Structure 1
Amino acid sequence: MPSSARGSLDRRRFLAASAGAALTAAALPGCAASVESGSGSGGGGKTLTVMTVGEEWDAKTRKSIEKTLGVTLRLITYDVTKLNALLASKNPPDVVRGVGATDTPYFAARGLMTDLDPYIAKSKVLKASDLAPANDVWRFDGEKQGSGPRYGLAKDYSQDCMFWYRADMFEEAGLELPSETEPLSMDEWLDLGQRLTKRRLGKVKVYGMDATGMGVLSQLMWMTASAGGRLFADDLATVDFSSPEALKALRWYVDYTKANVGPSVANPNPDGWDGPTYQADRMAMACNGHWFGSVIAGDPKLAEASRFAPAPQLGNHRVSPCFGGTGFWIPRDAKNKDAAWRLFELHFGGRPAEARVAAGWGLPPLNSLRSKLPRDTALQKQAYAVQEKELPYFSVLPVSPYAQADALNGILSKVLPGATKSGTSVGKIADALNSRMNEQLARGKELVG
């Protein structure tokens, strides 16, 4: 699922991380059209350069932002290669869209992000006491993620290892529906995936499940934590897939891949991501967080058949992390920081934020907006109830600052397909991953110093 090159955001990774922003036009008729890059038409003051995606704001919202802030928005398409070049030249955008859970350690460790704490301390709109815990993915204290200064804010978030399922497919297969409060074990989940998979002439017609979620690295981190271990060392400078807990997680993913019951690095989904597949009745369970409910809600028949469930667990340590937390950050060398912060206050605490939460695109970044989560339909009520019970198990699982997540996912994408097809032992797969990833991390650590 993830691209091996950080230079191109793979469609599935971006859409999952964005909590549905790019899905709006396709999934909900009459909603936002693509935003045209270039100079905006409103505002008589400064030009505020934002590196983001075409679907961040529709034309009406964009004009409203420009009028409210008295700026002209100049939108440039997100491209990490271009971003790195602009950062290196000390001429970066004023605001950058990013995935807090994976971007923060990398950029913060290199001193490329602006500390937002002084702005938050003075803000009457975005108060530290009102920030949802998921915003902690944007914190980095110089050694680990989840504490220290805030370098960005999430526009929305989900607990990304929860899953949606088709109750009609469960009933057709004579299977009991998953509990809304007690998580399945990973083995139970895989067994259900095998029972729900439909094949024709040896080919999968209906996937029983998709367990890839926000990428294989994230899934392996989550499962290892559930088993009572951790994938990264305390100093985040190395990985260890050979620990008992990580081996257990790796073995589960290899078994899932070999079972061919859902998309994997060895057999990617031709659709590119879960949305079209689930909507076309070709997937029974999809590992996506709360935001995916708005993909489902556009089809009344699909909404009636769908349910939300807690994140399955590999062990007895129940964890339900966020691996997205997509939002904005301000580069250290940005030229218009005050105007950028005013955009933050509007985007995260103003009408755009209220509209996002009312539409159901994930959980809001502010606790004060939680009451605006939609609970009108049966689907929304069920998802809200399940989500409320899941919140206590939220956690931040730190990633290393020494390599970008896509680079590590790229190693998994290179090693796992051939290893699973050739029957390589899990122990040898772990050794190969340790060798390649730790080499990558060591090079990154030298650069950070």
Structure 2
Amino acid sequence: MSRRRFLTTSTGVAAAATAGGLLSGCAGSVSSGKSGGKTTVTIMSNGTELGTAADIKAAEKALGLTLKVVKYDLTRLTAMLTAGSPPDIVRGQGAVDTPYLAAHGVAQDLDDYFARSSILKVGDLDPVNDVWRYDGRAQGKGPRYGMAKDYSQDNMIWYNTGLFDQAGLDYPSDTEPMTYDEAFDKGKALTRTGKKAKVYGMSFAGNTANFLTMIASQGGRLFTDDFSAVDFSSPEGINALTWYLKLAKAGITPSIANPDPNGWDWPTFQANRMAIATDGYWFGGMVATDTKSAKIARFAPAPQFGSTRVSSCSGATGYWMPKAGKNKDAAWEAYEYFLGGAPAKARAKSGGGLPALKSLRPLLPQTEAYQKQAYAVQERELPYFSVISFTPYARLDALDAVINQVMPAAIKGNVAPGKLADQLNSGINKQLANGKKLVK
């Protein structure tokens, strides 16, 4: 598939990832080059996710490599793969990217590297790293195609005790999950619409990842057994859509139809205008930056939608290595350093996510009261983590793009959950059918 066709898929660049752009250049292989006599390793990452410029310089000195960090961009990544000159290490979300990368032959099987590593030992890998495994049919088994840098169980919640006190509501339990209906009732009671600013009762995204979890907790599945189609029309799917539409229509949560002007939860939570933030343990890293928020923020288990307690990870953001990369051994040295060395230890100490190595867990911060409380809640939540398999036929962006197209009318109008389910099935299944044709 040409780069032009990849970028002009009918649903645009965000949905274009269902097409074959990430497999076009896989056969090619070029050297990452030399710089001043040192091997250059190119890493495609986001912002300062792997550290500041000074941190990168320190890494270069420790590794004896030249590190070129470029901003992650799907269009650019596609062009580099198509040209046969991919980055050596690439950012990804293991929970939703792994099947696609593996099935399209883009990502390198890293089992041999892990087997001989003295830094990233297989026995030390947190179970969340299983989302980076794929056996050709489902996640959780088979070769490892990447590793998380850190993670959270993403439906756990942070809440503002001050706003709960103002509303005269009991705090969520540290040990027992609320039901989604209880979360709705609390969110409704906490929502305030004033002349100058709105207080959201809670944040909850109407996206693919959340619907996957809601359906799984009822004992259902969004995807068919072969992952070639979705079925939002199942009883479990209708239940999930009905609950979300009720929440969004009531204005309890920001939504695609009525977005939060801040664009994400932290500024709103920090300004005391969000009572419940559905954001997982990583959000504690933001709380740590503001002493006022630290006094009123507390952590609680993920609400339970159905009869099965499911507390999944929908990201597991980490890194993979393109199969077409020629500089794999040098890239692995950098991979070990950033995911198991000094940067990984610093991330654990920050509280901005759970470490992907079990040996680093003792480094999580427990100095402040809110940190101790969050750590205790998180420890009790770990047994409820499970891998929810994703499709190899489309990227998450493409499925969410369909949801974002049809959801606003359902929130603002009178679209019944059943009709919304039909619209989602139609749009998403077209994407999956097109993507399946590109997998041999």
TM-score when normalising by structure 2: 0.91
The alpha-carbon distance between structure 1 residues 5 and 210, as it changes in their structure 2 partners (threshold 3 A), is farther
SS of the residue corresponding to residue 332 of structure 1 reads: coil
- Give the Cα–Cα distance (whole angstroms) in 2 for the partners of residues 254 and 247 of structure 1: 10
Q: Is the 8 A contact 2:133 2:142 kept in 1?
A: yes
Gaps of 5+ in 1: 10-38
- 2:402 alignment counterpart: 411
Q: Does 2:56 correspond to 1:62?
A: yes
Q: Is the 8 A contact 2:349 2:365 kept in 1?
A: yes
* 1:418-437 deviation line (CA, Å, top 9, x unaligned): 12322111111111111111
Superposed CA RMSD: 2.0
SS of the residue corresponding to residue 447 of structure 1 reads: coil
Identical aligned pairs, as a percentage? 54
- Give the Cα–Cα distance (whole angstroms) in 1 for the partners of residues 76 and 291 of structure 2: 41
- Give the Cα–Cα distance (whole angstroms) in 1 for the partners of residues 127 and 323 of structure 2: 24
1:219 to 201, 210, 217: 210
Give the deviation of 1:89 after TM superposition: 2.6
Q: Is the 8 A contact 2:222 2:232 kept in 1?
A: yes
- Give the Cα–Cα distance (whole angstroms) in 2 for the partners of residues 7 and 67 of structure 1: 40
Q: Is the 8 A contact 1:42 1:70 kept in 2?
A: no
How many correspondences in the alignment? 415
The within-5 A match list for 1:9-408 is 44-55=37-48, 56-201=50-195, 205-212=198-205, 216-408=207-399
* 1:142-174 deviation line (CA, Å, top 9, x unaligned): 111221111011110000000100011111111
* 1:162-190 deviation line (CA, Å, top 9, x unaligned): 01000111111110010011100001001
- Give the Cα–Cα distance (whole angstroms) in 2 for the partners of residues 362 and 44 of structure 1: 37
- Give the Cα–Cα distance (whole angstroms) in 1 for the partners of residues 202 and 12 of structure 2: 23
SS of the residue corresponding to residue 195 of structure 1 reads: helix
Q: Is the 8 A contact 1:44 1:71 kept in 2?
A: no
- Give the Cα–Cα distance (whole angstroms) in 2 for the partners of residues 4 and 183 of structure 1: 39
Which residue identity lines up with residue 393 of structure 1 in the other structure? Y
- Give the Cα–Cα distance (whole angstroms) in 1 for the partners of residues 367 and 138 of structure 2: 40
* 1:177-236 deviation line (CA, Å, top 9, x unaligned): 1001110000100111110011125x8611111011xx6111111111111111111111
- Give the Cα–Cα distance (whole angstroms) in 1 for the partners of residues 421 and 226 of structure 2: 20
- Give the Cα–Cα distance (whole angstroms) in 1 for the partners of residues 12 and 361 of structure 2: 36
- Give the Cα–Cα distance (whole angstroms) in 2 for the partners of residues 256 and 431 of structure 1: 20
Which residue identity lines up with residue 54 of structure 1 in the other structure? G
- 1:21 alignment counterpart: none
- Give the Cα–Cα distance (whole angstroms) in 2 for the partners of residues 391 and 8 of structure 1: 35
- 1:423 alignment counterpart: 414
2:424 to 423, 433, 446: 433
- Give the Cα–Cα distance (whole angstroms) in 2 for the partners of residues 221 and 142 of structure 1: 20
Q: Is the 8 A contact 1:43 1:69 kept in 2?
A: no
- 1:12 alignment counterpart: none
- Give the Cα–Cα distance (whole angstroms) in 1 for the partners of residues 79 and 102 of structure 2: 16
Give the deviation of 1:7 after TM superposition: 8.0
Which residue identity lines up with residue 206 of structure 1 in the other structure? V
Q: Is the 8 A contact 2:16 2:398 kept in 1?
A: no
Q: Is the 8 A contact 1:44 1:72 kept in 2?
A: no
Q: Which runs of 4+ in 1 moved over 3 A?
A: 41-44
- Give the Cα–Cα distance (whole angstroms) in 1 for the partners of residues 226 and 367 of structure 2: 46
- Give the Cα–Cα distance (whole angstroms) in 2 for the partners of residues 182 and 5 of structure 1: 42
SS of the residue corresponding to residue 67 of structure 1 reads: helix
* 1:246-294 deviation line (CA, Å, top 9, x unaligned): 1101111111111111111211111110011111111111000101011
- Give the Cα–Cα distance (whole angstroms) in 1 for the partners of residues 186 and 353 of structure 2: 26
- Give the Cα–Cα distance (whole angstroms) in 2 for the partners of residues 66 and 108 of structure 1: 30
Gaps of 5+ in 2: 1-10, 18-31
- Give the Cα–Cα distance (whole angstroms) in 1 for the partners of residues 376 and 289 of structure 2: 20
The alpha-carbon distance between structure 1 residues 7 and 230, as it changes in their structure 2 partners (threshold 3 A), is closer
Which residue identity lines up with residue 210 of structure 1 in the other structure? S
- Give the Cα–Cα distance (whole angstroms) in 2 for the partners of residues 359 and 8 of structure 1: 35
- Give the Cα–Cα distance (whole angstroms) in 2 for the partners of residues 323 and 446 of structure 1: 26
Q: Is the 8 A contact 2:248 2:255 kept in 1?
A: yes
